[in-house]
Chains A and B, each alone.
Chain A
Amino acid sequence: MSCSPFDLRDYLFGELAENERRQVDLHLRSCGGCHEDFDRLRVTHASLMSLRDEELPQRIGFVSDKIFEPSPVRRAWQALWGSSGRLGFASATMLSAALVVFTFFRPVAPVLPAADNARIEAAVAKRVGAAVAQAVSESEQRQSRKTAELLTAAEHRYQKQQQYVEQLAESISVLEKESNVRETLLARSDLGASR
């Protein structure tokens, strides 16, 4: 509540007489509250004065007015995005269209002259032949190496087995001899006892 002798707004807008204006000046110097109010008014005024002047609308518009309705394109677009079914149908349609277009307008490979074709085919055949020959050669080498390795391993295994069989035969032979000796000695002792 201002205690100024005259309205501070009138003072701000310069609508007071000279003597009234002088009284307000004196009051503002002595009253801190009114001085603060006046400062606020002045800031508000300065802010308002910084705004651009705009003309008032001729009439009030309503949301239901035709002018606020979206365009048919915008409505169709919104309808499309709003429905997954429509979106799916549209996608399928576009895909079908793309297929049809691609079927009828497929890019055709450039037709080369017959001589070039023959030359290219010969070069390709030569390269393929070389590659196949190399692959076959490598494969055969691999196969030969593998076969040699397997053969060596088999021979090694066979030798081991042969060695084992020989050792077994040797052991059996020794056992047989020992058995024969035992039998002979036993027979001799029986013979000696019977005498």
Chain B
Amino acid sequence: MKRAMKRAAPFLIGAATVVWAVAGQNPRITRATLRAIEESFDKRVLTVSPDSPFKLLGTTRGTYLNGYGVVFTAEVNLMVTTNLSPFQLEIPKPYVVKVHAQKLQRLTLFKRSMQEALLAAAASLDTVPANEQVVLGVSLFYYKWEDTAGLPSQVVMHAQRQKLVDVQVGRVNRSALDSVIQIEEL
């Protein structure tokens, strides 16, 4: 029995080494880590403009895509507005114009906030390989009566984690953030 165990030991050790090595290649992104970033982004959305907060319509969800990176998604209304109802069957034209102008203004603020969120996420995601991406995609909500000219329905920001960390720790100037983060508006 002892002899059999002695013979099997090298194989067992080898197998354990292989399993450990394979497991070691995959970054271990825990749900807790993702949840912390999700909550952080939600809090940022809710508090970035205290006087007139952004409306969170879908809390942030993060997913790790093996070999690609981490993707966070959320749904936001750029401002709280009224909507049609049995008591208000028509939205006045001046209100539509006002909401459109305000949303255009607030979009810049929101995108800046997204960039900050992306930087913060990159710093927290230390188990993600440096060459992988950190993505933040936000769907913007509009009512049917709204004028959406010049307003995107989705803003997607992504950057390599290493580059984000470089900006975060100061290895790269913060003014280069716009070139580090790629922004796509759909």
Contact = CB atoms under 8 A, between A and B. Distances in A.
Nearest to A166: B144
Contacts of B116: none
B85 interface: yes
Contacts of A170: 83, 143-144
A167 interface: yes
Interface in A148-195: 166-167, 170-171, 174, 177-178, 180-181, 184-185, 188
B141 A174 contact: yes
Interface residues of B, number: 15
Interface residues of A, number: 12
A177 B141 CA distance: 11
Given A167-B144, A185-B42, A178 B83 contact: no
Interface in B28-49: 39, 42
Contact of A181 (B56, B84, B85, B143): B56
Contacts of B59: 180-181, 184-185
B132 interface: no
Contacts of B55: 178
Contacts of A180: 58-59
B12 interface: no
Contacts of B144: 166-167, 170
Given A166-B144, A174-B141, A181 B83 contact: no
Contact of B84 (A171, A184, A185): A171
B170 to A, nearest CB: 31
26 contacts: A166-B144, A167-B83, A167-B84, A167-B144, A170-B83, A170-B143, A170-B144, A171-B83, A171-B84, A171-B85, A174-B77, A174-B83, A174-B141, A177-B57, A177-B58, A177-B75, A178-B55, A178-B57, A180-B58, A180-B59, A181-B56, A181-B57, A181-B58, A181-B59, A185-B42, A188-B39
Interface of B: 39, 42, 55-59, 75, 77, 83-85, 141, 143-144
